[in-house]
Structures are given as C-alpha cells and as structure tokens.
Amino acid sequence: MKLSNALRAVQAAQPYFVILVVPGAQGPRVYARHFWRPEIERALRRIRLAEREGDLKFNRRHFDIRMGEADARDDVLGWMRTTIDGVKPSYAAEKLRIAATVGHEDGFGSIDFTFEGGTDDLLDLQLGLMESLPVKNVRYVPERFGIPAPRAQLDVDGATLFVEPEGKPARLRLQGGHPTEELLADATLFTASLPGEGSGQFHWRVDAAPLSLVGRNGAYSARLSMRYDDRRPLSQLVLFLTMSAWRGVGPVGCRLFMDGQLIPLGTLNLDPGDHQENWSELRRHADALNMVAKASLRGDPEMSIIDLCEAEPFLGRFSGFITSASIKIEYDPVEEDDPTRAAVYYVGCDVGEWCFLAVVERNTTADEIMGRRRSITFGSPRLLDAIVGPGAWQDHRQEIESAYQAQVERMGDPRLLWDIGELEAFISRLTRE
C-alpha cells in the first residue's frame, strides 16, 4: 500500500483493516490485519524519516504489510467485529491516544536557549520556586522516535520560559517539642537537576503546606509561613500551630516516606524570636477541632488563625470538654442517687464559617459522698459521634440531639448512665440551683 494511505489509516478515527485475498484451487483464502499500534508506529516512523529527507510525496513511497498463516481468517466480518469490540472504553479515543503518543516515549523534542543568571535560577524554576525565567535565542526542534524534525518549530530571539513542576506524593514525619511530639503530614516531593550526566547539580523541595523545605547540594532551608487571615484546611493550621509551639524548644527531626522508602532529612531549627505564648493554647484548640473533624468523616474544613482567635473564649471550654483528662462535678443531691457507671453529653462550638459538635462518653472513676455533698469524677473522654457543618451549631441541634439519643439508647441500662444532654445547659442549671 502507499505510505499516503497508511497515513490516512493512522489519522482516521474509524477502524482500518488490510485485507488480502489469495486465489487457490480449493477456493480463495482470506488474510486480514488490523491496522493498530505496530502498524501505526511503523507508519509514523517511516513518515518522520521521509520528512527528515525532505520528501513529502508520500504517495510515491510504499508501505509494506507482510501476512502469514497467523493472519488467515475464516470469518473475516466476525473477527473484525470482535477486534473492534475488544478496544475499551472508546475505540476512537484509544486510537487517537496511540497516534498522538507513540514515538514520544523519550520526549517531544529538544530546546536550546540562553539565559542570564546562574544555574540555581534554572533549578529553582523546575522546583516551582520561580514563576518564570526570561530567555533568549530560543530554538525548539520537535523529535519523534528520536529523529529530529527537518526544521525548528520555534526560533525566536526572546521568550519567557514557564515550567509546571511535577511532584511525587509522600508523607513527612516531624518530631519536636518537649516532651517529644510527632506530626505526620501529607507532602509532595519535587526534584530538579541540570542536563548532562555528572553535572553535580541537584536540588529538591518538599511541600507540606504551610511548611516548605528546600535542599541545595547537601544543605537545606525551611520556611514556615501562613497569613493570619488566610483560610486554610484545618490540618494545615494544626501543622503551623504545632511547629510554632515548638519554636525555641530544640531541633525538629524530619523524615520523608515515599514509595516504601525512608529518607532522612536531618533536623531543622526554628527561630525562637517568632515564638508567641498563645501558640500553644491555639494549637490545643486546633487539635481538638481536628479530632472532631476526623471523627465526623466530613473532610477538612477551612478556617484562619483569626477565626480561631475570635472563637477562643468558647473554644477553651469546648476543647476542655472533649480532651481534658477528667471532669469533676460536685452538687447537693435532693435524694439518694443511683450509682453512675458513665456520663454521656454533647457540646457544640462555632469557628469561622463552621460549627463543630461532639457526643462524648466518660466513665466514672470516683464517686464520693462528703457530708451532704456528692463528688463524681469522670475520666478520659471518648468521642462517640461528631458533626462538622457550615453555619452555627444551633442550626444543627436536631441532628446532634438525634445522634446523642441514639448513643444513649445503645449504651444500655439508663439507671447506671448519667445522660446529661447539652453540657453547657446542664452546667447552667446546676449553677442556678
């Protein structure tokens, strides 16, 4: 067949088959070949070679297809139908993908340019640390199958080079504070190097917002930054506040986990000059909110440090109700009370554009009568249910009360259970009485 016909077969979205009929004494024999990846690849390679030689008259060149017994077909139409149906999900889309990508396994071409500045600028551009880089004398020559095109596709005196960095997902483990605490954060690793073997230039960046680590030839720097009014996912606020609370307490250990490998990154020191006393308090509040968010299974709500600060008068009590090691309640009973196995209650708090609600269970650790006064201590909390949603928590009262009642009914004998309901309202009633 002509090379021009082979090119039409490559470019067509519909199926192409090559049929060969050979007459014989016992009747004609039919051979057929599906024009698919091997034929597409060979045709495009032949076309690139012809273009390289400056010959664009493809109708004067031949494209041979050899057939053997493996190509003999008794039921040609049935075989063609089965072949087409076997390409999923879309025959046309898969053929287009093959035609567009085959021969580009090693890239789409080569580009030559000159730029002002050092090699660090080019490496930083690859890492996404620079938005663009001015270049001059730019010449781009496409390549396919490793064969350069006969002419440059781009040849200009000046241009601006943009690079979209591609990173690999990883996990960053941080250890710091006193006593030692640990954080695990989702991260992305970006790497950059200069062309040519043995250049010795290798840079990397680990992005675990709001923390960024940049390594340059054996040394690295770190940046921890967040605008106070910038609304970020709650998990990022926890990372920022935790590391801010670690300032001045000692070095922070860093390890990266990627593709089943552990990569030690050494330690970093956080400047104690930026330490603020309320970071630790805000961090405890953010930890409590993050615990509720994870228990709710409803994503990672976004808020700012300013949102946390504005809600701090309520957050202090809310976080205490769901994280403190114990709660003690003292009161004067009106009559003899039943022993209490545990207490269950719910609490709510608004932060920024979000509300957080939790149903909490605490087992009784001490129950004493001192004169006429009863003192009950309830131990460590257990989150039984949680809700995170937009708006004020009062708008979700019916939802949290339903979740609370479901937990009360599940927990068994009500005579041994102190079902408090909304804890803030319960405390108000005790105070009035």
Final residue in a domain of this structure, among 161, 182, 198: 161
Distance CA 114, CA 153 (A): 17
Domain of residue 328 covers: 296-432
288, part of any domain: no
290, part of any domain: no
Residues 334 and 374 in one domain: yes
Residues 341 and 406 in one domain: yes
282, part of any domain: no
pLDDT at res. 196 = 62
Residues 206 and 88 in one domain: no
423, part of any domain: yes
Residues 245 and 219 in one domain: yes
pLDDT at res. 433 = 60
Residues 175 and 241 in one domain: yes
pLDDT at res. 330 = 86
Residues 47 and 141 in one domain: no
pLDDT, one tens digit for every residue, the chain (433 residues):
999 999 999 999 999 999 999 998 888 999 999 999 999 999 999 999 999 888 889 999 999 999 999 999 999 999 999 999 999 999 999 999 999 999 998 888 998 988 877 888 888 998 999 999 899 999 999 999 999 988 899 999 999 888 899 999 999 999 998 889 999 999 999 999 876 655 567 889 999 999 999 988 777 888 888 999 999 999 999 999 998 888 878 889 999 999 999 999 888 887 765 555 568 889 999 999 999 999 999 889 999 999 999 998 899 999 999 999 999 988 888 777 778 899 999 999 999 999 999 999 999 999 998 888 889 999 999 999 999 999 999 999 999 999 999 999 998 777 788 899 999 998 888 776 6
Domain count, the chain: 4
Neighbours of 420 (CB within 10 A): 19
Q: Which residue do the tokens 């034929």 mark?
A: 39
Residues 96 and 133 in one domain: no
117, part of any domain: yes
Residues 326 and 396 in one domain: yes
Residues 239 and 267 in one domain: yes
Residues 350 and 366 in one domain: yes
pLDDT at res. 313 = 87
Burial code (b: 16+ CB inside 10 Å, e: under 16) for 330-368 equals eeeeeeeeeebebbbbbbbbbbbebbbbbbbbbebeeee
Q: Are the beta carbons of 247 and 270 closer than 8 angstroms?
A: yes
Q: Are the beta carbons of 62 and 3 closer than 8 angstroms?
A: yes
285, part of any domain: no
Residues 330 and 237 in one domain: no
Alpha helices by DSSP H, 191-256: 234-245
190, part of any domain: yes
283, part of any domain: no
pTM above 0.85, yes or no: no
Does residue 251 sit in helix, strand or coil? Answer: coil
Residues 118 and 227 in one domain: no
Q: Which residue do the tokens 């993908």 mark?
A: 97
Final residue in a domain of this structure, among 101, 118, 144: 101
